[in-house]
């Protein structure tokens, strides 16, 4: 019997459920101020907001993963196991980067300065991770293409690392 059918589906479900519930729990712990001091050499009080954003992104990614798992339960093959395992982790990091990009002004979206607004954006980044990566790809193409007309087609119209005359 194929291992994905024997134990893999149960493992993926439990893994995503742990990320989902664990993210909620960690956001509550960080929001309550229960976690203080240093954790693995990092001062938690300095980065607790970013950790909340990361867990909000992981929550969105785990929710999307659980939804896809439910919709495609019978179609699950071993090629998708990596996608399910990495989704919450990648969403954790991308949510933090999204908030940093908004705070820096590189991504333009009117988001309030409230913690709830930033957590909402982080959650949406995790839930819509694929769309987020498309936007980041378009942004980097526009940002680094060397083209001043805003063309983000990526067709090689930029000059790469060569200086312009």
CA pair distance 4, 78, nearest whole angstrom:
6
Local confidence band at 70 (pLDDT 50, 70, 90 cut-offs): confident
Q: Greater confidence, 23 or 70? A: 23
Domain presence at residue 26 = yes
Domain presence at residue 153 = no
pLDDT value for 3: 58
Domain presence at residue 155 = no
CB of 76 within 8 A of CB of 8?
A: yes
Domain presence at residue 139 = no
Q: What is the pLDDT of residues 76-86, one digit of tens each?
A: 777 788 888 99
Domain presence at residue 35 = yes
* Contacts for 143-149: CB closer than 8 Å, 24+ residues apart: 143/106
Q: What is the pTM of this model?
A: 0.77
Enclosing domain of residue 34: 3-129
The helix/strand count (H/E) of the chain reads as: 6, 2
Domain presence at residue 39 = yes
- For the chain, the first-to-last Cα distance in angstroms comes to 65
pLDDT value for 82: 87
Domain presence at residue 15 = yes
The segment with the largest mean pLDDT, out of 16-20, 156-160, 161-165, is 16-20
pLDDT value for 33: 77
Domains of the chain: total: 1
Mean pLDDT of 4-21: 85
């Amino acid at each position: 019997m194929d291992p994905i059918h024997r134990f893999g589906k149960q493992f993926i479900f439990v893994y995503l459920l742990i990320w989902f519930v664990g993210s909620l729990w960690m956001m509550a712990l960080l929001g309550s101020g229960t976690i203080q001091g240093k954790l693995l050499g990092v001062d938690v009080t300095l980065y607790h907001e970013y950790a909340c954003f990361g867990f909000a992104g992981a929550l969105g990614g785990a929710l999307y993963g659980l939804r896809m798992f439910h919709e495609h339960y019978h179609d699950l093959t071993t090629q998708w196991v990596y996608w399910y395992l990495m989704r919450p982790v990648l969403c954790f990091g991308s949510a933090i980067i999204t908030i940093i990009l908004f705070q820096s002004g590189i991504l333009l979206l009117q988001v309030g300065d409230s913690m709830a607004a930033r957590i909402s954006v982080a959650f949406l980044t995790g839930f819509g991770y694929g769309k987020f990566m498309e936007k980041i790809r378009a942004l980097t193409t526009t940002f680094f293409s060397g083209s001043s007309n805003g063309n983000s087609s990526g067709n090689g119209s930029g000059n790469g690392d060569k200086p312009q005359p």
